[in-house]
Copies of this chain bind each other. A is one copy, B any other.
Amino acid sequence: MHKGGIVLNLTIRDVAKAANVSPSTVSRVLNNSSRISDRTKKRVLKVIEELNYHPNNLARNFANQNSKMIGLIEDLNEVEAFNNIYFYKVIFGLEKTIYECGYNLMFINYNNLENKDIIRKLIMEKRVDGIIFPSFLFNKNILSFFRKKNFPFVLLGEPFEGINKVNWVDVDNKLAGELVTQHLIDKGYRKIAFIGPSFKVSFTYKRYLGYKETLEKNNFEINSKYVLTDINTENLAYITMNNLLDKHHEIDAVICVNNLIAYNALKVIKKKGLDIPKNFGIVTFDKYPLANYLEPKLTTIDLDLIALGVEAGKILVQSMENNIAKKQHAFISPFLAEEESTLRKG
């Protein structure tokens, strides 16, 4: 296609002309919309093929006033390379799911932004048709904005408030805490410690709740001295575990909320000469990256984070296309993966 010497892109009109139909017919074929005779449809398709015509997505989006794009906001930073497993799996599952539904994924790192009002911007400027973001960015203010706009979104992580008013997905961390605690009890461990970051980190608190309730259910005494939180550096994990074992020789198992804490706790346990799993049990959550590469390999509660991404995508697409008011949430079930660190007779 040339006009005045400048190469132009093929349009729906060019196809129409070549196929001896009107532009709207071509459009209908493209969107395989209602009632087109098979004969013309085939003819048009053939011309499209011959001319190597590709619809201009910019024009389509404009005409439809949608972007066919789903925004994913994450908060990645440079140092925490260990977060990446979470990110990697969620984005894997999410992209796959939405792509199959005809959407593309736009990724935005909150951490890199100077303008923190990104959510409003994306929506007001019609850059995305739906949006997924971590629940820590959610609040009443944002909620009323979404309400007013009637804009579809899904939170990654159960929000602190309004859990029935919005779509969200999360790992069932309480269940994870229950599973791991019951496992230790079944294996005959009796004095079980719990060590993790701050309770403000929601999965820490949830896992703790599972721990606590399972102890209660089994009529175990709950000793607050066995519960250590606010462990946010590797060094602190080491020191804390060391103090704990010095003070409480009766402790015979520990639940570590993350791989890094487990790594350091394990170091302490080995240094003290305790025999794992015979005299001491240790467990953690999430298999990657370390749990299976320590000596001994750690029993973990493994989390299907790909499924988390898949669910987020499904819920979002559903609420975009059906425009349903009913809010959904998905709890991904964790599962026990027993390894050497608790492998003894119950």
Contacts and interface: CB of A to CB of B under 8 A. Distances in A.
Given A62-B58, A106-B105, A125-B54, A99 B81 contact: no
Contacts of A121: 54
* Complex copy number for this chain: 2
Chain A interface residue bracket vs B: 35 or more
A306 to B, nearest CB: 6
Interface in A49-89: 52, 54-59, 61-62, 65-67, 69, 76, 78, 81-82, 84-85, 87-89
B106 A106 contact: yes
A290 B289 CA distance: 8
A85 B82 CA distance: 9
B61 A58 contact: yes
Given A84-B84, A85-B81, A293-B294, A96 B125 contact: no
Contacts of A106: 69, 104-107
A216 to B, nearest CB: 35
Contact of A88 (B55, B58, B88, B126): B88
A92 interface: yes
A6 interface: no
A108 B112 contact: no
A125 B289 contact: no
A235 to B, nearest CB: 14
A158 interface: no
Contact of A126 (B58, B87, B92): B58
Contacts of A65: 58
Contacts of A1: none
Contacts of A293: 263, 290, 293-294
Nearest to A68: B127
A109 to B, nearest CB: 5
Contacts of A61: 58, 61-62
B96 A54 contact: no
A324 interface: no
A111 B293 CA distance: 27
B62 A59 contact: yes
A108 B107 CA distance: 10
Interface string A297-341: 000000000100000000000000000000000000000000000
Interface in A264-316: 288-290, 293-295, 306
A16 B104 CA distance: 34
Interface of A: 52, 54-59, 61-62, 65-67, 69, 76, 78, 81-82, 84-85, 87-89, 91-92, 95-96, 99, 104-109, 112-113, 121, 124-127, 263, 288-290, 293-295, 306
Ranked 9 nearest A-B pairs via Cβ = A289-B289, A84-B88, A54-B124, A62-B62, A57-B125, A96-B112, A81-B288, A58-B62, A107-B107
